[in-house]
Amino acid sequence: MEKLHQEFLAREAERLGVVLRPVQLEQFSKYLQELKAWNKKVNLTSLRDDLDILIKHFLDSLLPVSYIPRHSSLLDIGSGAGFPGIPLKIAEPTLFVTLLDSTRKKVFFERHLIRTLGLDGIEALHGRAEDLGKKEAPPVFDVIISRALYSIEKFQQVSEGCIRRGGRLIILTTPHPGDGQKEQVREGFRWKECTDSILPLDRGRRRIILLEKI
């Protein structure tokens, strides 16, 4: 990653309340390098421009960091190329992160990346959230997050077997005015917060919806 891009990433992350040390900036640099190399043979992302990847993948993944308590166990459903779980893990090493994706090639990339970046307290699993919650003794998490993979209603359905009472569901989606999102909250969950953000350089808009298991 070019020095200017590292400085840009550090500056924009700090605006989100995340101070990236040199070792973390180097991890993001390796992430970018590996993502571009693997993307030539495995379809991981449609983005090719470095700055687009920094903004629309790395910084976008860090937007909800203030909603995730330190030392939390976090499940990232539909993690794909590791977003948002791996950037969150890099930024907040105290998190215990589980990445879940149904595409084996993407899981192989995530496992390779975890080794390459030297990350501890993180694993990548192949599977579907619908099946995870149906296990006899399903894992239970403090936070479950997904980036535009499900509707709010569907996200609650696939998460309810794996979220602890008082735990948080975070969905990263695109702002849609007047689409009745609050009305999609199911019994057993509570609407906590909804925040709209504009990505740096006006390269997109993001809505963060926070629900709580009651």
Alpha helices in the chain (DSSP H): 3-15, 22-39, 50-53, 60-62, 85-91, 104-117, 129-132, 152-159
**Helix, strand, or coil here: 83?**
coil
Q: What pLDDT band is residue 178 in, cutting at 50, 70 and 90?
A: low
| Residues paired with 146 in a beta bridge | 77, 171
Domain count along the chain:
1
Q: State yes or no: pLDDT of 179 exceeds 70.
A: no
Which positions ≥6 away from 45 have C-beta within 8 Å?
Answer: 35, 39, 53, 57, 80, 81
119-148 b/e with 16+ CB inside 10 Å = b? beebebebeebeebbeeeeeeebbbbbbbe
59, 65 contact by CB (below 8 A): no
Helices (H) and strands (E) in the chain, counts: 8, 7
Q: What are phi and psi of 175, to 5 degrees?
A: -60, 130
**Taking the CA atoms of the chain, what radius of gyration do you get in angstroms?**
16
The predicted-structure confidence for 104-163, as pLDDT tens digits, reads as follows 999 999 999 999 999 999 999 999 988 887 777 889 999 999 997 788 999 999 999 999
The predicted-structure confidence for 49-74, as pLDDT tens digits, reads as follows 999 999 999 999 999 999 999 999 99
| Structural domain boundaries, residue 139 | 3-213
Ranges 60-64, 89-93, 122-126, 179-183: which has the least confidence: 179-183
Q: Which two tokens mark 203?
A: 């390269």
- For residue 181, the domain's CATH number is 3.40.50.150
Q: What angle do CA 194, 199, 200 make, to 5 degrees?
A: 145
The residue-averaged pLDDT of 3-23 equals 96
